[in-house]
Structure 1
């Protein structure tokens, strides 16, 4: 299981090589907002260096950091699923260098090559499951009643 790390290594070499044909090198300076919740999700990134925080807006509170991503991690999965809107926000915690992929071109590649599409979908689904579990834990920490003693 990828648990969010090493997305590209989770793909068989022939699929990884084909996907990398779509990659663009990008950089985000520290403190740059990369995307906002509910914004249009039309791309994704694989972090090469640096760190990115995923956050969630909570009514009446500051943004809550859900997870910190680093080298090899997938940033963004909402480009795969309609309505193609970000479920979290993201900010560069440090200078970030990443491979950027266009969502529409990647979806077209997956339709053209179903084996690649399945491999990518499976890898992203593992990341998604991990992220949802992490977000759930953070929300429980924030909102669950704190008890003293053992139950």
Structure 2
């Protein structure tokens, strides 16, 4: 089976060291994994299932900005001060994932420059992608022209 996502982005040795810190968790469909604004102290790599990322919109239902599936990274806010979730997350379908404690991963990254660089590079790519996805989805939902393009 070919690896994708964060596991494919990490060199073999650093990937193995990271995975030693992971623990298997499951979330039934409909479970809120975290809420926007709460303390971010962990992250997940999805094994199976899907997670909806959403943004709070005052006076409206939360808007789903992206759906993350197998091999996807859920959570990057643990890496950046003030360590608060920028989005919310909910299991759209039953989820099996590896969960990682941020403090443990950050301590490992201090000792393992190859992991630190590869993980940081991957997370920066995820942040950029999520910002673009959020912008596009919000334009679809609330923009004057839908999909961000003039009609």
In 1: Cα distance, 2:112 partner to 2:29 partner:
37
Q: Where does residue 112 of structure 1 map in the other structure?
A: 111
In 2: Cα distance, 1:92 partner to 1:135 partner:
18
In 2: Cα distance, 1:132 partner to 1:80 partner:
16
Displacement of 1:103 in angstroms is 0.4
Give unmatched runs, 5+ long, in structure 1: none
Q: TM-score, normalised by structure 2?
A: 0.92
In 2: Cα distance, 1:16 partner to 1:105 partner:
14
Counting matched residue pairs gives 145
- Structure 1 residue 26 and structure 2 residue 39: aligned? no
Give unmatched runs, 5+ long, in structure 2: none
Displacement of 1:116 in angstroms is 1.2
Give the 5 Å matches for 1:2-151: 6-146=5-145
Q: TM-score, normalised by structure 1?
A: 0.92
Displacement of 1:84 in angstroms is 0.5
Displacement of 1:76 in angstroms is 0.3
How much is the aligned-residue C-alpha RMSD, in angstroms? 1.3
